[in-house]
Amino acid sequence: MRRALAACLALLLPACGQQQVPAGPDLALILAAGPAETLADYGLFADASARQPSAGVVPYDLINPLFSDHASKHRLVYVPEGEAAAYRGGEDVLDFPVGTVLIKTFAFAPDMRTPAEGERYRETRLLIHKADGWAAYPYVWNEGETEARYAPAGAWLDLAYTDPSGTPVEINYRVPNQNQCKTCHQLGDAIAPIGPKARNLSHEGPLGVGQIEDWTARGMLFGAPGNIDAIANVHDASLSLDARARAYLDINCAHCHRAEGSASNSGLWLGWEEQEAVRIGFGKHPTAAGRGSGSGTVVIEPGAPEASIMVYRMDSAEAGVAMPELGRALIDDAGVELVRAWIEDMPSEN
Amino acid sequence: MRKLLFAAASVSVLAACGGAGDGSDSDASGNQSSVNGTTSGASGGTIEAGDDFALRLQTALIEAQPGSTITLPAGTFAMTDGLTLDVDGVTLRGASPSETILDFKNQMGSGEGLLVTSDDVTLTNFTVRDTKGDGIKSKGADRITYSNVKVEWLGEPSEDNGAYGIYPVESTDVLVEGSHVRGASDAGIYVGQSDNIIVRDNIAEFNVAGIEIENSSNAVVNGNVVRNNAGGILVFDLPDLPVMGGNTTLIRNNLIEDNNTRNFAPPGNIVASVPSGTGVIIMANEKVMVRDNNFVNNQTAHVLITAYSQDFSDEDYNPLPRNIEVRNNTYGESGYNPQGDLGELASLIGGNLPPIIWDGVTSWGGNDETDVNIFINEPDSVGFVNLGLGSYPMDVSAASPSMDRPAGESIGAIPTVKLSHAE
């Protein structure tokens, strides 16, 4: 044992000064009580700039991502060798085993109409399934993109870029602090992933193959049936407004607006599977909205988006009004338009 | 075990490498600022004034050990984002509310100034000022203590102020004492969906509602000064919320004075319906005792007992106040300038309103009339009106006011609230 330790020390010492990274995911570090100082320490990538995933670290994406100021998000998952996630139903996040790491890097390019050109990594968030539950750690990249350091208190980044509609924007981009990570990822007293629900993964991902089938073939996932209903793509205009809007609310709102979430006390629950009209906002008066209610008296007023608090809060970037409260400095104009059209299209009750 | 040792070794070796980035960080498309790369220290202790105060404070709040105390120095500190605390047993202590001020006027994100989500937390001796949303919120934070804390919005009361000042919600064992809240556009001290609550010896002024107990049970509101709000103390139960059935609240020994500030709540919120000049409002709640308070100069009414006023579909919800007792209070001038719907109703009975008003609603949704037991246990010299609205939903034109007191009986003593974490 002692010899093994000495060997590992010898291996690590040369790392000082030259940013060497471990060969492959370091499960001991992944499962350690606290976070590693830098992203590279985990060995999830073969290079310090985190462009080349280590063996066993698999890129994926979601049909519908959360809006985050138009950031490009590069997602990867690491499931320890010999372990596998369990399918729990299309509506549920996969049951990832202890040792799983979900990696999400937020990147911006000078012109987000061509997001790959001149792309810069800004922050990487890790969700790690420790032995006693999930932990969330934010890492912030240096300017040279040679190192991402643990930043428990988050950061403000001054960013300027052209948004996908061609409009130049300058924002104070917020890297959330570690507790803010938990605010969105809260599930009762624990924290949990939000995005990788089976139905939100069920399409061809960045590797060009069906993700559910691919993960199953890799041995990372078991129990998934052959054809899982995919969630409606919010940008697919061929689908119904209702399906698209509900899918939008599901990924952008329901992580807090559900019984186990940070906004549980609002009684406004916006998950895809919610059926009760008043919980979705129909005829629902605000509980603690304050000036976030604008001039509206109900969350959704059918046929009248301008009188619906939901639209008012989505269409604001001001702290104290804006929803979601965390994770954006900009308004998601496309999302606002979608929800506006959805409410407009509803038969008025008057 | 081997894995743990390996982890410890690699962490210590890596830490020895030291160095936080290369420091050169300017770029045409973005400047990096305020990144914290350290993980050492800061488990409790004093946060020194100086550069990156907000960052260092937030780091300390994250890295605090359970049971530790974080001390804030004297000074006014600019905050750009909401602070969050999620470690059990932490005490956050300033020098005093007048000396330690967390100033959020340039806040760019988050829905509140400070969010507490852990248990057994004590907040004391500091001020939270000018937050964009709520002041201090504690959610699912059992056995929390707010003591000698100030939450304020400077300037004239404004619709642009945040909603709640001190805002514990979904918690068991809540103590708010010796604190001061000013300027909230909803309730200064708001306790929601909680159980076992003491709100005592606070000052709540220039809020829309001074103190509000909502969808909660077993609350004592005692010894507070509640003045210059639109409404003084509210005890409400609202539909369509995860916790309903608000009950068992004692409002005692409070000075409830001059609550004649205009109602500056944004429309849509339930408190926007509070008539300016109301001392206590009990709405859709069960078992509320209002006794031994001193009511002074509330222009609409000192005590208003009313059914829920908006539409609802929740089948589990009872919109009526029932088992309410009002006794042994002192009543100064009131009812001389009634506001809102009550202003219209006042014209039916000669223009002025008596100090105690009940809407007289005893049934809803087609149900039979119920014995709601409203007991006005005051000398005959204390004025009262039953508006006689009869059934919910309320139709003001159906009012048939009567000065006769309903036949009620005492609801008995409200049990003493014993908190597990404080006397």
pLDDT reading at B2 higher than 60: no
Domain termination residue (choose one: A212, A231, A250): A231
Confirm whether A9 is domain-assigned: no
Yes or no: say if A129 and A30 are a contact pair by the CB < 8 Å rule.
no
Say yes or no for a CB contact (<8 Å) between A265 and B242.
Answer: yes
pTM of the model: 0.89
A245: helix, coil or strand? helix
pLDDT reading at B367 higher than 90: no
Distance of CA B157 to the CA centre of its chain: 17
Mean pLDDT within A116-141:
97
Say yes or no for a CB contact (<8 Å) between B11 and A152.
Answer: no
Nearest neighbour of A265 by CB, restricted to B8, B34, B192? B192
A320 and A242 inside one domain: yes
By residue count, chain A amounts to 350
Among B318, B339, B313, smallest CA distance to B231 is for: B339
A262 and A217 inside one domain: no
Domain boundaries, chain B: 133-398
Say yes or no for a CB contact (<8 Å) between B268 and A329.
Answer: no
A178 and A282 inside one domain: no
A72 and A211 inside one domain: yes
Please list every residue in chain A whose beta carbon sits closer than 8 Å to the beta carbon of residue B36: 151-153, 155
A340 and A209 inside one domain: no
B330-331, strands of its sheet edge to edge: B75-78, B100-103, B127-129, B150-152, B180-182, B203-205, B225-227, B255-257, B294-296, B330-331
Yes or no: say if B282 and B305 are a contact pair by the CB < 8 Å rule.
yes
Say yes or no for a CB contact (<8 Å) between B9 and A8.
Answer: yes
Say yes or no for a CB contact (<8 Å) between A32 and B4.
Answer: yes
According to the model, what pLDDT value does residue A21 have? 55
If phi > 0 it is left, if psi is from -120 to 50 it is alpha, else beta; for residue B302 that is alpha
Confirm whether A301 is domain-assigned: yes
Task: Identify the residue with better confidence: A149 or B316.
Answer: A149
Say yes or no for a CB contact (<8 Å) between B61 and A179.
Answer: yes
Domain termination residue (choose one: A177, A198, A231): A231
A253 and A201 inside one domain: no
Looking at CA atoms only, how far is residue B159 from chain A in angstroms? Answer: 7
Looking at CA atoms only, how far is residue A180 from chain B in angstroms? Answer: 7
A201 and A329 inside one domain: no
pLDDT reading at A345 higher than 90: yes
The CA radius of gyration of chain B, in Å to the nearest whole number, is 24
Domain enclosing residue A270, as ranges:
237-350
Taken in order B158, B162, B167, B169, the sign of the CA dihedral is positive
Please list every residue in chain B whose beta carbon sits closer than 8 Å to the beta carbon of residue A31: 3, 7
Angle at B104 between CA B100 and CA B109, to 5 degrees: 140
Say yes or no for a CB contact (<8 Å) between B58 and A265.
Answer: no
A154 and A61 inside one domain: yes
Domain termination residue (choose one: A231, A261, A276): A231
Please list every residue in chain B whose beta carbon sits closer than 8 Å to the beta carbon of residue A324: none
Q: What is the pLDDT of residues B191-220, one digit of tens each?
A: 999 999 999 999 999 999 999 999 999 999
pLDDT reading at B36 higher than 70: no
According to the model, what pLDDT value does residue A17 have? 43
Task: Return the bridge partners of A86, or none.
Answer: A95, A222
According to the model, what pLDDT value does residue B341 have? 87
Looking at CA atoms only, how far is residue B383 from chain A in angstroms? Answer: 34
According to the model, what pLDDT value does residue B43 have? 55
**pLDDT-derived band at A350, boundaries 50, 70, 90:** low
A336: helix, coil or strand? helix
Say yes or no for a CB contact (<8 Å) between B22 and A144.
Answer: yes
d(CA B53, CA A268): 36
Q: CB of A172 within 8 Å of any CB in chain B?
A: yes
Q: What is the pLDDT of residues A92-127, one digit of tens each?
A: 999 999 999 999 999 999 999 999 999 999 999 999
A154 and A269 inside one domain: no
**pLDDT-derived band at A281, boundaries 50, 70, 90:** very high
Please list every residue in chain A whose beta carbon sits closer than 8 Å to the beta carbon of residue B61: 179
Confirm whether A1 is domain-assigned: no
Number of domains, chain A: 2
Contact residues for A157 (Cβ-Cβ < 8 A; gap 6+) = A122, A123, A140, A172, A173, A174, A175, B30, B31, B32, B33
Mean pLDDT within B1-25:
35
Peptide bond into A347 cis (omega under 30): no
d(CA B377, CA B385): 14
**pLDDT-derived band at B396, boundaries 50, 70, 90:** confident
d(CA A155, CA A139): 10
d(CA B392, CA B194): 27
Q: What is the pLDDT of residues A291-313, one digit of tens each?
A: 888 889 999 999 999 999 999 99
The residue type found at B5 is: L
Say yes or no for a CB contact (<8 Å) between A35 and B39.
Answer: yes
Mean pLDDT within B53-75:
97
| Mean per-residue pLDDT of chain A | 92
Say yes or no for a CB contact (<8 Å) between B160 and A291.
Answer: yes
3 state SS for chain B: CHHHHHHHHHHHHHHHHCCCCCCCCCCCCEEEECCCCCCCCCCCEECCCCCCHHHHHHHHHHHCCCCCEEECCCEEEECCEEEEECCCCCEEECCCCCCEEEECCCCCEEEEEEEECCCCCEEECCEEECCCCEEEEEECCCCEEEECCEEECCCCCCCCCCCCCEEEECCEEEEEECCEEECCCCEEEEEECCEEEEEECCEEECCCEEEEEECCEEEEEECCEEECCCEEEEEECCCCCCCCCCEEEEEECCEEECCCCCCCCCCCCHHHHCCCCEEEEEECCEEEEEECCEEECECCEEEEEECCCCCCCCCCCCCCCEEEEEECCEECCECCCCCCHHHHHHHHHCCCCCCEEECCEEEECCCCCCCCCEEEECCCCCCEEECCCEEECCCHHHCCCECCCCCCCCCCCCCCCCCCCCC
For residue A140, give the chain B residue with the closest CA. B35
A226 and A301 inside one domain: no
According to the model, what pLDDT value does residue B54 have? 96
Yes or no: say if B53 and B102 are a contact pair by the CB < 8 Å rule.
no
Confirm whether A265 is domain-assigned: yes
According to the model, what pLDDT value does residue A153 have? 94
According to the model, what pLDDT value does residue A98 have? 98
Nearest neighbour of B269 by CB, restricted to A26, A156, A286? A286
**pLDDT-derived band at B24, boundaries 50, 70, 90:** very low
ipTM of the complex: 0.88
A331 and A316 inside one domain: yes
Q: What is the pLDDT of residues A63-97, one digit of tens each?
A: 999 999 999 999 999 999 999 999 999 889 999 99
A250 and A264 inside one domain: yes
Other CB atoms within 10 Å distance of the CB of residue A346: 17
Task: Return the bridge partners of B413, or none.
Answer: none
The residue type found at A92 is: D
Confirm whether A10 is domain-assigned: no
